[in-house]
Amino acid sequence: MNWILTILFLVVFSLLNISGGSALLQASGYNNNSKMKSWIIGYFAMFFILFFPGQLAIHFHISWNLYVIISLILLAGFYAYSIWFLFKNKKTTLSFKKLKFDQYIHKSIKFIFDYWLLIVFVALFMAFSIANQLAYLSMNYDDAYYIGKMVDQIGSASMMMENYADGGLDPLINLDFARVMNTYEISYALLAWISGIYPVFFMRVTMAVCSYMLFSFSLMCIARQFLPVSIRQFVLTPFFLFLLPQGFFMEMLPDNLVFYSYDLWQFTNAAYYGSSVVRMSGIFVLYYFAYPMISKFSFRKLLIVAMLTLSLTSFSTIAVSLFICFASAMVLIKCYSSLVKSIKNRKWIIFILSLIISAALIYIGCRLNSITELNEKMQRFLQITEQSVERFYSKDPFTFYSWILIPLLLIFSWRKSGLYLSLYALVFFLILLPFRATLLQFLMSCGVLFVYRRVLASYQYLMVFIFGLSILLILYWPSRWMKKISWMKKTNWIIPAVLSIITILGTIQTFVTNQEAFKNDIKFNGSGISKYGWDFSRLLNFDENMVPPFIKDLGDEIKKINEPRIRLYTQALYSPGDNGENYGLSPGNLLAISSKPAVLNLGGHLGIDPEDFKRIESFIAAGNYSEEFLSLLEKNNVPYFLSTNEDASIALQQLGAEELFSIPMTENNKAKLYRFNWISSEAPTESNQSIR
């Protein structure tokens, strides 16, 4: 059922994006000449609107019902106004013309011809993401946080009150800048609730599809400035290589071909993360919608770029660092454009102003890179960054020598769009990779190393795009200069198509050949894969929920407990695997299936005394379920125990625990939830439960 609901959701979601995006494009003076362009701006407009009720949830902990009402009113108002605006201006892109059957067939064939690679790209990356066993069984390392945060909001009486390390309630959550700005999980929760899709499936499948669509559309929109529609889609070709595990590029390639990109595994396995959305698409989206302002500044277009920036920041605050690099690049490009125009038109005041601004920016950048009097935090950052550059990026020839692609693009594009994209990439290169760590990098990344690495990963994606674009421009060169030879224009897609097919088949062949090495070699485990590998049979499971069936059943039973929150300890969880092997499951799965569990043996330990937690762990490890063990649980108000061991179940019953339910876990084991008798079914389970 989730598959059908996802298809319906994507259709409605896309129609809303296109209608809202079309209205915004027309209202702000953009050429409304592409549904992809409308889809992109409509996508970010939705999350921009939902950012504001999300702030109410974060700061004032409003109820879920109130959040839904406010959000739906805002969205309904926006889309109603968009449709009215489009019909008023009679430029709607949602017009439906009556087509004859042969015209319909012709349009369908042309659509498939122009976009088949895009469809294959989204389908293949989704297939590998869904089949990945690490996310499914053990959860990617941030899944419990992101998915748990989404699940916890649905139906909550007081939103954003959970400690997402363990699921426990916390009325004094530290609201740093990142936590205040990130609202996309709450927005995902609303969309999952509206669509009726199981929340875990919604995030891992539905929103991952949207992330790949956003990425593909962004690249193809920029490619529109250079290439005809017949070969535009082939800019995606180099990215098919990312189907291979991150470890492949670091460990299995020759030393002179190593490619290191921070968190590259998330491109395939966690495209639904907010940081993935920003890292994959932010650098392209900001450039594409700022591009028209290079030739002519527009305040309305500036507002659109500001909206995009805030919307991207709602996904991840690395958007702030990305924006600093983007803004620096675009200001310098604008100054260059103004200098050229002012000389041509003899407008010397504009010439002097442009010269002063560009010189000031360059001076500030050089000055920041030469300052040596640094405090301890800055020195530590620069030291670690230099070690990172030396350890990884200096051995990565593509990244270190990516600047070579810039003149290549200039030569074969031979137009302003090529010059501006080259300058854009050059500024990113000079900020991020000056062959040594700099104070400018420290300020740009707010002194956080992984922020620097993630912005650098965005730059790498940009250069992979420029690499693919340059190859296509070289192949397109003959047909562009020999326009009178019609057969060249009609067949210019053949070589790119053949190269794309070879790349896809070669990537899949490499994956199949090395699949066992990927699963069994410790060098690859942790780079987005585990020893359990991939299970593509999930693609054919109509009832798939993207969590093991045992976990889904466990969540359904927990939801029946007449308490808003249960504090529990869980023993090891397993799911039946192939050949009689049992797959280990992460306790974090409990946070993804229901808002009720607060799990003692997860990262936050429910805030109990560390020594008490160690003693509880030691008792359980020794199988010593004594009165002292029971008193520790009572002292720390942990009245629930999820047992997956028969000996533990017997001992818990002897201590007077009540068995609430029993669910088959593996062939020989059951999971049983016990509640100790010091708490009644009506009593609150946390001292701060009233805030819910």
Name beta bridge partners: 671. 663
Identify the DSSP state of 662: E
Residue 687: predicted pLDDT: 38
Give the mean pLDDT of 268-276. Answer: 92
Residue 578: predicted pLDDT: 67
DSSP, residue by residue, 298-358? -HHHHHHHHHHHHHHHHH-THHHHHHHHHHHHHHHHHHHHHHHHHHHHT-HHHHHHHHHHH
The percent of the chain in helix, strand and coil, each rounded to the nearest 5, is 70, 5, 25
Give the mean pLDDT of 199-221. Answer: 96
10 by Cβ neighbours in 10 Å (0-12 / 13-18 / 19+) ranks as middle
308 by Cβ neighbours in 10 Å (0-12 / 13-18 / 19+) ranks as buried
Backbone phi, psi, residue 387, to 5°:
-65, -40
> Which residues are CB-neighbours of 9 under 8 A, at least 6 positions away?
191, 195, 197, 206
- Residue 80, domain member (yes or no): no
Q: Which of 445-449, 472-476, 615-619, 674-678 has the lowest mean pLDDT?
A: 445-449
Two tokens at 317? 């605050």
Q: Evaluate whether 316 touches 266 at the Cβ level (below 8 Å).
A: no
- Pairwise CA distance, residues 304 & 327, whole Å: 14
Residues 643 and 564 in one domain: yes
Q: State which of 441, 472, 488 marks the end of a domain.
A: 488
Residue 526: predicted pLDDT: 62
pLDDT at 169 over 60: yes
Residues 425 and 568 in one domain: no
Give the predicted TM-score (pTM) of the model.
0.91
The helix/strand/coil state of 599 is strand
The helix/strand/coil state of 316 is coil
Identify the DSSP state of 403: G
Two tokens at 690? 């009233």
Per-range mean pLDDT, top range of 160-169, 378-387, 444-453: 444-453
- Residue 321, domain member (yes or no): yes
Residue 692: predicted pLDDT: 30
In whole angstroms, how large is the CA radius of gyration of the chain?
A: 27
Residues 461 and 360 in one domain: yes
Residues 483 and 569 in one domain: no
Angle between helices 64-89 and 2-27 (to 10 degrees): 50
pLDDT at 460 over 60: yes
Backbone phi, psi, residue 30, to 5°:
-80, 155
The beta strand positions in 11-62, using DSSP E, are none
Which of 226, 585, 611, 267 has its CA nearest to residue 422?
226
- Residue 614, domain member (yes or no): yes
Around Cβ 496, how many Cβ atoms within 10 Å? Answer: 23
pLDDT at 168 over 80: no
Residue 425: predicted pLDDT: 94
The residue whose two tokens read 């300890």 is 569
Residues 469 and 323 in one domain: yes
**CA dihedral angle for residue 299, residue 302, residue 306, residue 308, rounded to 10 degrees:** 130
pLDDT at 8 over 90: yes
Identify the band that residue 565 occupies on the pLDDT scale cut at 50, 70 and 90: confident
Q: State which of 488, 519, 539 marks the end of a domain.
A: 488
Give the mean pLDDT of 288-316. Answer: 95
Question: CA dist 305 to 19, 27, 30, 249, Å?
Answer: 19, 14, 12, 35
Q: pLDDT per residue over 507-555, tens digit each? A: 999 999 988 888 877 566 666 788 888 999 999 999 899 999 989 999 9
Strand 640-643 versus strand 566-570 pairing type: parallel
What's the structural domain count of the chain? 2
DSSP, residue by residue, 264-283? THHHHH-TTSHHHHIIIIIH
- Residue 53, domain member (yes or no): no
Residues 322 and 433 in one domain: yes
Identify the DSSP state of 645: S
- Pairwise CA distance, residues 168 & 97, whole Å: 55
Residues 473 and 348 in one domain: yes
- Residue 73, domain member (yes or no): no
Q: Which of 115-129, 139-153, 291-305, 484-498 has the lowest mean pLDDT?
A: 484-498
DSSP, residue by residue, 528-550? TB-TT-B-GGGGG-TT--SS-HH
Residues 557 and 409 in one domain: no
- Pairwise CA distance, residues 125 & 210, whole Å: 12
Residue 223: predicted pLDDT: 95
Residue 684: predicted pLDDT: 38
Q: What are all long-range contacts of 501-506, with beta carbons under 8 Å and residues at least 24 apart?
A: 503/237, 503/238, 503/240, 503/241, 504/120, 504/124, 504/240
Domain range holding 592?
A: 549-691
Q: What are all long-range contacts of 94-97, with beta carbons under 8 Å and residues at least 24 apart?
A: 94/15, 94/18, 94/19, 94/22
Q: pLDDT per residue over 88-122, tens digit each? A: 886 544 455 566 667 778 788 888 888 999 999 99
Percentage of the chain with pLDDT > 90? 45
- Residue 514, domain member (yes or no): no
Q: pLDDT per residue over 472-497, tens digit each? A: 999 888 766 666 566 566 778 899 99
Residues 323 and 471 in one domain: yes
Residue at 19: amino acid letter: S
Q: State which of 443, 460, 488 marks the end of a domain.
A: 488
Residue 491: predicted pLDDT: 77
Identify the DSSP state of 284: H
- Pairwise CA distance, residues 564 & 690, whole Å: 10
Question: CA dist 87 to 13, 15, 75, 357, Å?
Answer: 20, 15, 18, 43
Residues 573 and 480 in one domain: no
Give the mean pLDDT of 234-249. Answer: 92
- Residue 131, domain member (yes or no): no
Residue 504: predicted pLDDT: 97
- Residue 357, domain member (yes or no): yes
Residues 596 and 460 in one domain: no
Residues 321 and 433 in one domain: yes
The helix/strand/coil state of 601 is coil
Name beta bridge partners: 599. 568
